[in-house]
Amino acid sequence: MRIVVGMSGGVDSSVAALLLHRAGHEVIGVFMNNWEEAGDDGACTAERDWADVRSVCDAIGIPYYAVNFGKEYRERVFAHFLAEYRAGRTPNPDVLCNREIKFKAFLDFALQLGAERVATGHFARIGCEGEAYRLLRGADPAKDQSYFLYMLGQRALGLAEFPVGGFTKAQVRARAQQAGLPTFAKRDSTGICFIGERDFKGFLQAFLPAQPGETLDVRTGKAVGKHDGLMYYTLGQRRGLQIGGGGDGRRWFVVSKDVQNNQLWVAQGDDHPALYTTQAQVGAITWIAERPPLADGEALACTAKYRYRQGDQQVTVRLADGGLHVVANEPQRAVTPGQSLVLYQGDVCLGGGIIERMW
């Protein structure tokens, strides 16, 4: 079987290609360059990753290509990212990148190369129930990436392979080292891919004009400082608020943003009631099965992740107002508009959507 592997220059996609090659498939490595900008050190990080891809493919003994999806990325992912921050929300571009770039633009490119399947280094698994494909959590709970793949549909899952999804990260590195792959000890990438390790605030300033305004105490309604622009803050944030002493001496946290009046609302104490909510309205719903697992008016008990680095939360969901009404069994801290809320039943990812509001 001809399988095209999306290779990032990291250890996970390196081992994905290795495993498929050893299984006897005709494997082609493809490096996706989605962002063309030099890093702070003046060296293009994409060039370093491309060099690692070439070294890995040479070590495995497979052909490789590079393809530029910079235009598609800016139009389909980055433009949305900026629009969401402009509107005062906190988006997750990796989720959209998986749907629009890796499993749309890249998938189409791979099929043009004659591929029967595409593969990536995601820590997730694919199962079947009858004729329907299911997205399952990866075997390593600390590295599971099904959260970032909830927007995929049946076509994408039917053509996808996640070769490392059944392994732990330690096992992946061990296999890379045993095979002599040069990426076996390469550090995992962190943060948003097009920002990397640069200062987030400085990056945004280059694209969105700052609009300073007042920071207000939710308890008194009085100003306690100035903010640099609502786009630089997210709910639950406590660092960089530039608030002096005052109040009861406890730390300040962002509890809400009033975009219309350009006001940042804060409260003292990480247990302040304004930080916690139990209900959320979720829009832009995507179901893995491409149909909802519940009927109108029906309640479904399942678990949810309100953000990636979070344990499963017990919730009840109902279809409502063109989206999903989610009620958590326990109060949830700093639920943030623009973030993805992803639903599960055991290891099965049902789908998810974008948090619109909470109360």
Residues paired with residue 91 on neighbouring β-strands, in sequence order: none
How high is the pLDDT of residue 191?
67
Rg (CA), the chain: 22
Cα distances from 96 to residues 58, 92, 248, 338, in angstroms, run 31, 7, 42, 12
Q: Is 97 considered catalytic here?
A: yes
How high is the pLDDT of residue 42?
37
Query: What's the CATH code, domain 2-178?
Result: 3.40.50.620
CATH class of the 210-271 domain in this structure:
mainly beta
* Contact of 201 with 228, CB cutoff 8 Å: yes
pLDDT tens for residues 186-233?
998 766 777 766 678 888 888 998 899 999 999 999 999 999 999 999
How high is the pLDDT of residue 41?
43
- 284's CB contacts (< 8 A; 6+ apart) are 323, 353, 354
pLDDT in tens, the chain (359 residues): 999 999 999 999 999 999 999 999 999 999 999 886 655 443 467 889 999 999 999 999 999 999 999 999 999 999 999 999 999 999 999 999 999 999 999 999 999 999 999 999 999 999 999 899 999 999 999 999 999 999 999 999 999 999 999 999 999 999 999 999 999 999 987 667 777 666 788 888 889 988 999 999 999 999 999 999 999 999 999 998 988 767 788 999 999 999 999 999 999 999 999 999 999 999 999 999 999 999 998 999 999 999 999 999 999 999 998 899 999 999 999 999 999 999 999 999 999 999 999 99
How high is the pLDDT of residue 45?
77
How high is the pLDDT of residue 180?
97
Q: Which of 57, 128, 193, 302 is catalytic?
A: 193
Model pTM above 0.75: yes
| DSSP H or E segment with residue 265 | strand 263-268
Which residue carries 């995929």 as its tokens? 152
Domain ranges of the chain: 2-178, 210-271, 275-358
* Contact of 266 with 255, CB cutoff 8 Å: yes
How high is the pLDDT of residue 38?
52
How high is the pLDDT of residue 40?
47
Q: Is 57 considered catalytic here?
A: no
Would you identify the CATH topology of the domain 275-358? Answer: Elongation Factor Tu (Ef-tu); domain 3 (2.40.30)
Q: Which of 57, 97, 302, 349 is catalytic?
A: 97
